[in-house]
Structure 1
Amino acid sequence: MTLDFSVATVPDKGAAISAHGRLRVGGASILHLGRFYMAMLERALWPTQAAMASDLQVSASNVSRSIAAARLPRELVDAAGGEARMTFAVADTFDFLASRLGAAVAAERAQELPSGLSVKEIEHALLTGVPPRPNQIRVSISANRKHLIVESDELSSVLKKTPDIVHVINAILGTR
């Protein structure tokens, strides 16, 4: 599939609609579609994402999420196993982490990861700076992105130390 969305290749809205149809039929990744959407908006073929989504008969949410996925640092995409493995859920998680940690920090941490990690393992590594090891505490973000999840194969040991853990976290955050 081509990444050439230039004026010569896609000269107008009609050509863009046709190109979009070919991309979708061809199974383009959400990142590839996101690059297409960005190119069409940059060229002002549509004034807004919503107007483009309407004409292309896709949801405005899919356009927005595809664009966000296309803007992710390449290192994060590679850590997930490449464009073909990138889903909206994975892209949303990585986008959230990159926005909170900083794209440069997230990219640097992702670049150091071995291949074959699960999304939860990548998430842990982005948050902590190192991939999880067996029998180690793992951290991740909840689905609603309001809670930090702490997982351990040795929960009884962790539970006994909960007051100390809370004290350390509060000390780090400067809260009481």
Structure 2
Amino acid sequence: MEVSEHNLDSELLKQNPLALEFLMNAYANVVYGLIQRILGGLAQKEDIEECVSDVFVAAWNRIDEYDRSKAIFKTWLLILAKYKALDYRRKLIKQNITLSLEVDPAALHETEDVILSKEATQVTMGIIDSFPEPDRSLFYRRYFYYEKLDVLALQYGLTKKAIESRLYRCRTLLRQQLDYFEIGGHE
């Protein structure tokens, strides 16, 4: 049977090697781009390529977790890629801190910065998680999965302008909450 976008998930469930080949050919560029953005200046090209490979292995091994009713396949795959890249990012940061500490004990200050950054991330995620639907989903899909406004508008049955307005309100609320958190935390 020929593998296509329509039957990709079912063929992956059957562990059809042609499905893995189709998956890699169809999504390698978009997965690579997302991982490259997440890993930023921390990773070498080889690290990015290794992470991309790990994403496809994860998709192959975890295809039974994919649920068509919750997301399109591309979104599911990009979520896998995002979390895999974030794992790599944490690992690379940890390696850099360890290396810095071995080379320069004054690098302990950088460790404090990383810890503070993690706390800020937790606060930020908590604020985003408090957004009402569909704002929360729109925010995640736009700023974490880099989905285009046109796609979101179509999927949510809203105009592009309505999506932009909702996202603007979310960003404003997030900024206000973060300002409040910083002021409240230091008083």
The TM-score normalised by the length of structure 2 is 0.27
Structure that is richer in helix per residue: 2
Tell me which of the two structures has the higher relative contact order, counting C-alpha pairs closer than 8 angstroms and 6 or more residues apart.
2
Structure that is richer in strand per residue: 1
The TM-score normalised by the length of structure 1 is 0.28
